[in-house]
Amino acid sequence: MNKRRNSLKRIKVSDCIIFSGLLLFSFFCLLPLILAFMVSITDEGCIQKYGYSLVPIKLSLSAYSTIFTEGAILLRSYMITIFITVTGTLGALTITGMAAYTLANKNIKYRNAMALFIFIPMVFSGGIVPWYMICRVLGLRNNLAALIIPGLLFSPFNFFLTRNFIMGIPDSLRESAKIDGAGDIRIAFQIYLPVCTPVLAAITLFYGLAYWNNWWNAIMLVDNPNMFPLQYLLLKIRTEIRMLEELRGAISIANLNLPTESLKMATAMITIGPIILLYPYLQRYLVKGLTIGSVKG
C-alpha cells in the first residue's frame, strides 16, 4: 500500500517536471513577442523615461495611428509585399503543380530523368555570386519581377513534396478520366487539383511564407526605395535611422512627441499581423506538410 502510494507520488512529480519544462519553453517562445506588442502600445514618454517594459504603464495607440496617417512609405511597401506574395504564390503553385502532375504520370517515359534534372541543382549549385550574375544578365534588377522570380518562383523541395503526394493517388483516376475523353491539362486542373488540396495547402503556406518573409531578393537586386518590400524596409528602418527621419519629415517639426521606439515595434507588429491572424490555419497546414514529407519522402 505504502509502496503504491509512493509510486503514484513519483509519477506526479515527474509529470510536474515535464509540464513545467514545457510551459517554461512556451513562455520563452511567447514572451519576446508579448514584449514587442506591449512596447508598441506604450506611450512614448513612458518608454523614454522607464525603458521597455512588459506591462505598459500608460497605453497609447499613437504609434499605430502615426503609421496609418503618415507612414506612406510603409503602406506602399505593404502593398508591394502583398502583391508579390499573391502573384508569386499563385505562379509558384501553378508551375509546381503542373510539373508534379506530369512527373508523377507513369505514361511519361522520361519522368525520372526530368526529376533528376530538377534534383541535381538542389545539391550542386553555383551559390550566391553566379545567381546574382544570372539575375543581372536577365535584367532582374530594380523591378517587381526581381522580387518575384529569382529563387522563389519554383522550389524543388515543394515540387518533390507534391510529386510524392500525387504518386500516392491510384493511376486508375487518370486512366478513367482519359477513357472519358479528358485531355491531360483538363485532368490536371479539374480532377487532380481538388484531390491534391492537402498538399497544395501545405505548399501554398511554404511559398506564401517565403514570399512574405523574403528580403534577400530586395537586398541583392533592388536599390530603389520605392520598391522595397516590407521586410527589407524594416531592416532599413532599423539600420538607417535616416529612413525614420524621412518618415518623420512628413510630420511638422513642431511635433516633437513622435513615437520613435514604439513606432519601431508597431511596424514590426504590423508586419507579422497577417501571420498572427492566419496562424491557426498556417499551423495546421505546416504540421500536415511536414508529415506528408516525412511519411513518403
Partner 1 sequence: MKVKLQQERYTEKLVRVKPQEKRYTLLTDISRNRSCYVMVLPALLYTLVFGYLTLPYLISAFQKFDYRTGIFDSVWVGFKNFEFFFKSKNAVIVTRNTIRLNVLFITFVTIASVALAVYLNELKNRKFSKFFQSTYLFPHFLSWIVVSYIIFGLLSTNFGIVNKIFRFFNLKTINWYATAEPWTGILVIMRIWKTAGMQAVIFLAAIVGIDKQLYEAAVIDGAGRWKQITSITLPLIAPTVAIVTLLAIGRIMYADFGMIYAIIGDNGILYPTADVIDTYLFRTLRLLGNPAQAMAVGLYQAAVGFVLVYGSNWLVRKTFKEGALF
Position 83 contacts partner 1 (CB under 8 A): no
* Cβ 291 vs Cβ 88: under 8 Å: no
Residues 173-192, one symbol each (x = binds partner 1 by CB under 8 A, - = not), give ----------xxx--x----
Question: Restricting to residues 268-297, which ones interact with partner 1 according to CB under 8 A?
Answer: 268, 271-272, 275, 279, 282-283, 286-287, 290-291, 294
User: Shortest approach of partner 1 to residue 176 CB, angstroms?
Assistant: 17
Work out the burial of residue 113: count CB atoms within 10 Å of its CB; fewer than 13 is exposed, 13-18 middle, 19 or more buried: exposed
**Candidate segments 70-78, 104-112, 196-204, 250-258, binder of partner 1 by CB under 8 A:** 104-112
Question: Restricting to residues 115-144, which ones interact with partner 1 according to CB under 8 A?
Answer: 117-118, 120-121, 124-134, 136-138
Position 81 contacts partner 1 (CB under 8 A): no
151 vs 225 by CB, closer to partner 1: 151
Q: Which among 245, 283, 289, 284 has a CA at the least distance from the CA of 263?
A: 245
Residue with cell 531592416: 235
User: Shortest approach of partner 1 to residue 131 CB, angstroms?
Assistant: 6
**Candidate segments 11-19, 65-73, 82-90, 245-253, binder of partner 1 by CB under 8 A:** 11-19
Distance CA 12, CA 191 (A): 53
In sequence order, what DSSP letters do the residues of 82-93 get, joined into one string? HHHHHHHHHHHH
Q: How many CB atoms sit inside 10 A of residue 254's CB? A: 6
Q: What dihedral do alpha carbons 40, 43, 49, 52 form, nearest 10°?
A: -20
Which grid coordinates belong to 184?
A: 491531360
Helix, strand, or coil (residue 59): strand
Position 157 contacts partner 1 (CB under 8 A): no
Question: Restricting to residues 201-220, which ones interact with partner 1 according to CB under 8 A?
Answer: 209, 212-213, 215-216, 219-220
Question: Restricting to residues 30-59, which ones interact with partner 1 according to CB under 8 A?
Answer: 30, 32-33, 35-36, 39, 47, 51-54
User: Shortest approach of partner 1 to residue 140 CB, angstroms?
Assistant: 10
